[in-house]
Chains A and B, each alone.
Chain A
Amino acid sequence: MGTPADEARVMGVDGLDALIRALGERGYEVLGPRVRDGAIVYDGIDGAADLPVGWGDEQAPGHYRLSPRDDDACFGYAVGPHSWKRYLLPPRSKVFEAERGAKVFALRSAEMPRKRFAFVGVRPCELAAINIQDHVFLRDTARDVLYASRREDIALVAVQCTEPSGTCFCASMGTGPAATDGFDVALTELLDGHHRFVASAGSELGRELLAAVGAAEAEQADVDRATTVVDEAAQRMGRSLDTEGLAEALYANLEHPRWSEIAERCLGCGNCTLVCPTCFCTAVIDTNDVTGTGALRERVWDSCFTIGFSYIHGGSIRPSLRARYRQWLTHKLATWRDQFGTDGCVGCGRCITWCPVGIDITVEAAALHEPAPAAGAGR
Chain B
Amino acid sequence: MATAKPALAVWKFASCDGCQLSVLSLTDELLALADVVDVAYFLEASSAVHEGPYDLSLVEGSVTTPDDVERIHEVRRASRTLVTIGACATAGGIQALRNFADIDGFIDAVYAHPAYVSTLATSTPISEHVEVDFELRGCPVDRHQLLEVVSALLRGRRPSISPASVCMECKRSGAVCVMVAHGTPCLGPITHAGCGALCPAHLRGCYGCFGPAETAATGALAAWWQEILGVEHTDLLRALRTYNAGASEFASKGEQHVASGA
Residues of A within 8 A of B (CB): 36-39, 41, 62-66, 81-82, 86, 91-92, 264-271, 274-275, 285-292, 300-301, 303, 305-308, 321, 353-358
Closest to B33 in A: A290
Residues in A whose Cβ lies below 8 Å from that of B213: 268-269
Residues in A whose Cβ lies below 8 Å from that of B188: 269, 356
In whole angstroms, how far apart are the Cα atoms of A81 and B179 in the complex? 13
Interface set, chain B 31-80, CB cutoff 8 A to A: 32-33, 35-36
Residues in B whose Cβ lies below 8 Å from that of A41: 174, 176
Given contacts A62-B228, A290-B151, A306 and B179 within 8 Å (CB-CB): no
Residues in A whose Cβ lies below 8 Å from that of B107: none
- Among all A-B residue pairs, the 5 with the closest Cβ atoms: A268-B215, A91-B172, A274-B171, A269-B189, A269-B167
In whole angstroms, how far apart are the Cα atoms of A291 and B228 in the complex? 50
Q: Are B162 and A288 in contact (CB under 8 A)?
A: no
- B4 within 8 Å of A (CB atoms): no
Q: Are A288 and B155 in contact (CB under 8 A)?
A: yes
In whole angstroms, how far apart are the Cα atoms of A306 and B214 in the complex? 8
Q: Are B160 and A287 in contact (CB under 8 A)?
A: yes
Residues in A whose Cβ lies below 8 Å from that of B139: none
- B180 within 8 Å of A (CB atoms): yes
In whole angstroms, how far apart are the Cα atoms of A274 and B193 in the complex? 15
Residues in B whose Cβ lies below 8 Å from that of A266: 217, 220
In whole angstroms, how far apart are the Cα atoms of A357 and B180 in the complex? 9
B46 to chain A, nearest CB (A): 19
Given contacts A265-B220, A285-B160, A270 and B36 within 8 Å (CB-CB): no
Given contacts A269-B189, A290-B33, A291-B36, A356 and B179 within 8 Å (CB-CB): yes
In whole angstroms, how far apart are the Cα atoms of A288 and B158 in the complex? 11
In whole angstroms, how far apart are the Cα atoms of A91 and B173 in the complex? 8
Residues in B whose Cβ lies below 8 Å from that of A287: 148, 151-152, 160
Q: Are B172 and A62 in contact (CB under 8 A)?
A: no
Given contacts A287-B148, A290-B32, A354 and B172 within 8 Å (CB-CB): no
Residues in A whose Cβ lies below 8 Å from that of B182: 38
In whole angstroms, how far apart are the Cα atoms of A306 and B160 in the complex? 14
B146 to chain A, nearest CB (A): 11
Closest to A270 in B: B168
Closest to B202 in A: A37
A315 to chain B, nearest CB (A): 13
Which of B168, B173, B190, B228 is close to A306, meaning CB atoms less than 8 Å apart?
B168
Which of A37, A270, A307, A321 is close to B171, meaning CB atoms less than 8 Å apart?
A270
Q: Which of B36, B148, B168 has the most CB of A within 10 A?
A: B168
Residues in B whose Cβ lies below 8 Å from that of A36: 176
A17 to chain B, nearest CB (A): 25
A140 to chain B, nearest CB (A): 30
- B175 within 8 Å of A (CB atoms): yes
B199 to chain A, nearest CB (A): 13
Given contacts A265-B220, A291-B35, A307-B214, A82 and B174 within 8 Å (CB-CB): yes
- B177 within 8 Å of A (CB atoms): yes
Q: Are A303 and B180 in contact (CB under 8 A)?
A: no
Chain B positions 145 through 172: 1 when the CB is less than 8 Å from some CB of chain A, otherwise 0: 0011011101101001011110110011
- B29 within 8 Å of A (CB atoms): yes
Q: Are B181 and A38 in contact (CB under 8 A)?
A: yes
Given contacts A38-B176, A268-B165, A268-B215, A356 and B155 within 8 Å (CB-CB): no
Q: Are A292 and B217 in contact (CB under 8 A)?
A: no
A293 to chain B, nearest CB (A): 10
Residues in B whose Cβ lies below 8 Å from that of A321: 215, 217
- B120 within 8 Å of A (CB atoms): no
Q: Please give the number of chain B residues whose Cβ is less than 8 angstroms from any Cβ of chain A in the complex.
A: 45
Residues in A whose Cβ lies below 8 Å from that of B172: 91-92, 274, 300-301
Q: Are B224 and A357 in contact (CB under 8 A)?
A: yes
Residues in A whose Cβ lies below 8 Å from that of B177: 64, 81, 271, 354, 356
Residues in A whose Cβ lies below 8 Å from that of B147: 290
Residues in B whose Cβ lies below 8 Å from that of A91: 171-174
Q: Are A267 and B176 in contact (CB under 8 A)?
A: no
Q: Are B164 and A292 in contact (CB under 8 A)?
A: no
In whole angstroms, how far apart are the Cα atoms of A91 and B197 in the complex? 14
Q: Are A39 and B189 in contact (CB under 8 A)?
A: no
27 cross-chain CB contacts under 8 A: A36-B176, A38-B182, A41-B176, A62-B228, A81-B171, A81-B180, A82-B174, A91-B172, A265-B220, A267-B189, A268-B165, A268-B213, A268-B214, A268-B215, A274-B168, A289-B151, A300-B172, A301-B171, A305-B164, A305-B215, A306-B168, A307-B214, A308-B214, A354-B177, A356-B177, A357-B223, A358-B228
Closest to B29 in A: A290
- B203 within 8 Å of A (CB atoms): yes
Extra 5 A-B pairs, beta carbons < 8 Å, given A301-B172, A353-B180: A267-B165, A269-B167, A288-B152, A301-B168, A356-B186
Closest to B182 in A: A38
Residues in B whose Cβ lies below 8 Å from that of A300: 172
Q: Are A307 and B35 in contact (CB under 8 A)?
A: no
In whole angstroms, how far apart are the Cα atoms of A368 and B32 in the complex? 56
Q: Are B152 and A267 in contact (CB under 8 A)?
A: no
Q: Are A356 and B174 in contact (CB under 8 A)?
A: no
Given contacts A266-B220, A270-B168, A290-B151, A37 and B181 within 8 Å (CB-CB): yes
Q: Are A291 and B32 in contact (CB under 8 A)?
A: yes
- B221 within 8 Å of A (CB atoms): yes
A318 to chain B, nearest CB (A): 11
A268 to chain B, nearest CB (A): 4
Q: Are A290 and B150 in contact (CB under 8 A)?
A: yes
Q: Are A292 and B36 in contact (CB under 8 A)?
A: yes
Which of A38, A285, A308 is close to B164, meaning CB atoms less than 8 Å apart?
A308
